Amino acid sequence: MQYGKVEICGVNTSQLKLLKESEKRELLNTIRNGSPAEKKMARDKMINGNLRLVLSVIQRFTNRGENPDDLFQVGVIGLIKAIDNFDPTLDVRFSTYGVPMIIGEIRRFLRDNNAVRVSRSMRDTAYRAMQIKEQLTNKNNREPTIEEIAKIMEMPKEQVVLSLEAIVDPVSLYEPVFSDGNDTIYVMDQIGDKNDDSAWLEEIAVKEAISNLSDREKRILSMRFFRGKTQMEVAAEIGISQAQVSRIEKGALDTIKKSI
């Protein structure tokens, strides 16, 4: 949404009504138990009185480049679904039920209008792989390999990898990946250029910095970043606590950063 803009879909957002919780409850009861005319009037009031709720939700999606008017209209559809399906007999605030409904409707809109269309079968494969991954992680106290997931699914590992990658949202080059409070590292900072003649100098500097580490530090970094082990797995193999692994790893990385 553009900053300073007060109109969206022709609605002056500064003049949107805001209902009290007691008013919402009364309207919802009328929608459920009133006469047809009362239901329609109460439904219209309930919709108009919760447009600010829709407005607050769509602000979470303003960095995706979508037209705010489109998002607002889709959010209103989610609001209407929430109103029509909410049970006022439950001891739950309407917003607690309505916000997830609005978010879900907007996410479906963004997914279905994505420039990169992912087939239903590929999405189903990815979601099943994620479920199996979670089950194996809970069972074995470690993240499973792609081979383990593919074996249970009885599918080639390449197909599992493609499915998982297909449902990952595109990442902006300006997405921050690290910040120490002063300097921020963005995705674009981590993209290399194979034609850059200075790349070999950086490689030499990194190798030299690593050579100055202790054997334990080298071993931990090798297990963590080349063999893909978790800190817990490293701790169990070396025979120290996870806290010690974390401390040694951080110290080693700081040493390399200072050397470079």
Per-residue pLDDT tens for 117-153? 556 777 788 888 888 888 888 888 888 898 999 999 9
DSSP code of 222? I
Please name the helix (run of DSSP H) or strand (run of DSSP E) that holds residue 123, with its range, or none.
helix 120-140
pLDDT at 6: 45
The neighbour count for residue 100, using CB atoms within 10 Å, is 13
pLDDT at 37: 92
Distance CA 57, CA 82 (A): 14
pLDDT at 41: 92
Contact (Cβ atoms closer than 8 angstroms) between residue 157 and residue 147: yes
pLDDT at 11: 60
The neighbour count for residue 37, using CB atoms within 10 Å, is 8
Return the closest-CA partner of residue 19 out of 49, 57, 40. 49
Q: Domains in the chain, ordered, with CATH?
A: 7-112 (1.20.120.1810), 120-166 (1.10.10.10), 176-259 (1.10.10.10)
Q: Tell me which residues of the chain have a pLDDT lower than 50.
A: 1-6, 180, 196-197
pLDDT at 188: 53
| Helical H segments across 113-226, by residue range | 120-140, 146-153, 157-166, 199-211, 215-221
pLDDT at 118: 59
Please name the helix (run of DSSP H) or strand (run of DSSP E) that holds residue 40, with its range, or none.
helix 36-48
For the packed helices 68-85 and 94-112, what is the interaxial angle rounded to 10 degrees?
130
Distance CA 245, CA 239 (A): 10
Count of alpha carbons within 13 Å of 174, Cβ hemisphere only?
A: 2
pLDDT at 80: 92
Return the closest-CA partner of residue 52 out of 102, 93, 88, 4. 102
